[in-house]
């Protein structure tokens, strides 16, 4: 492209994977000859094996419950006999409780540290924001894949009128002919989507009476209360200001 057609300096253009040398068009649509084939497919085969193992376990559990007239647990936890009442009953029960419900209790704080986006204080509004965020994330992923597979001479973010630089394109993982996208950045996207999806599921579980009985509720305590007066409104024993 000419200097006025693409928003990129000449130094970056010289190192472009598209213009520095011949490029096999098949690689731009995800096709590349690999040898040996088994080494290339080993990660895919490993994922299929793990999924098959997971389905086998769930089917075996379902068959066992049907055969012995057992009902499935209310929550998918490791220690089914541990509830909110056991949290303050010794260190061992406390550890078991947090193994079961750590994200249920502290998922919002973990999501805030991961996403760094949501500053809304009301929990009810955060529930709506997380739902919209997860849906938008999925739509963005699908749109990104479809756009990447189309054959184009240039991208909008490399247009002369676009205010994008190489660092922004790299972090947004946009397809680019200047710098080859680093697949490691997909790990960050995965962590973002994982935390947001788990928190959205937590918001749904909070509205289930059976889950609240087992894990406790996440009702907010008034932010205007003094720390020393929490014991008047919180049924949990106060181990800090008790003296």
Tens of pLDDT, residues 131-177: 777 777 766 665 555 444 554 556 777 776 777 777 787 777 777 77
pLDDT at 130: 76
Nearby residues of 31 by Cβ (< 8 Å), 6 or more positions away = none
d(CA 2, CA 4): 5
The mean predicted confidence, pLDDT, of the chain is 76
What's the pLDDT score for residue 185? Answer: 80
Number of neighbouring beta carbons within 10 Å of residue 243: 5
What pLDDT was estimated at residue 87?
A: 84
Q: Is the pLDDT of residue 102 over 80?
A: yes
Question: Residues 216-227: what's their mean pLDDT?
Answer: 67
- Residue among 169, 138, 145, 143 at smallest CA distance from 156: 169
d(C-alpha 43, C-alpha 45), whole Å: 5
Q: State the burial class of residue 56 (Cβ atoms within 10 Å of its Cβ: 0-12, 13-18, 19+).
A: exposed
Give the domain ranges of the chain.
Answer: 10-14+103-219
Q: Are 205 and 132 in contact (CB under 8 A)?
A: no
User: Tens digits of per-residue pLDDT, 8-36?
Assistant: 667 766 677 666 677 777 776 777 777 88
Q: Which residue is listed with tokens 């068959």?
A: 63
pLDDT band (50, 70, 90) for residue 236: low
220/6: higher pLDDT: 220
Q: How far is CA 2 from CA 7, 165, 208, in A?
A: 10, 17, 60
CA within 13 Å, CB half, 122:
4
pLDDT band at 107 (very low <50, low <70, confident <90, very high): confident
Q: Residue 49: pLDDT above 80? A: yes
Please state the pTM of the whole predicted model.
Answer: 0.61
More confident residue, 221 or 163: 163
Task: State residue 188's pLDDT score.
Answer: 82
Task: Identify the pLDDT of residue 57.
Answer: 92
First to last CA, the chain: 74
| Higher-scoring residue by pLDDT: 22, 235 | 22
């Amino acid at each position: 492209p000419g200097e006025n057609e693409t928003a990129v300096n000449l130094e970056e253009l010289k190192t472009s994977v598209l213009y520095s040398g011949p490029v096999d068009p098949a690689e731009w649509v995800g096709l590349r000859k690999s040898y040996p084939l088994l080494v290339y497919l080993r990660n895919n085969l490993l994922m299929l094996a793990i999924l098959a193992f997971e389905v086998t376990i769930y089917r075996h559990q379902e068959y066992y419950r049907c055969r012995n007239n057992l009902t499935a647990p209310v929550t998918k936890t490791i220690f089914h006999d541990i509830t909110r009442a056991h949290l303050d009953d010794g260190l061992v029960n406390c550890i078991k409780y947090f193994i079961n419900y750590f994200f249920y209790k502290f998922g919002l704080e973990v999501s805030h540290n991961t996403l760094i986006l949501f500053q809304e204080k009301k929990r009810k509004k955060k529930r709506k924001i997380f739902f919209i965020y997860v849906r938008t994330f999925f739509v963005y992923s699908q749109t990104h894949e479809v756009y990447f597979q189309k054959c184009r001479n240039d991208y909008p973010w490399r247009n002369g009128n676009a205010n994008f630089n190489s660092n922004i394109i790299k972090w947004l993982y946009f397809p680019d002919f200047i710098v080859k996208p680093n697949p490691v950045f997909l790990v960050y996207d995965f962590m973002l989507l994982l935390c947001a999806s788990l928190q959205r599921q937590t918001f749904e579980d909070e509205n289930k009476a059976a889950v609240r009985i087992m894990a406790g509720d996440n009702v907010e305590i008034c932010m205007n209360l003094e720390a020393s007066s929490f014991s008047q409104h919180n049924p949990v024993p106060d181990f800090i200001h008790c003296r």
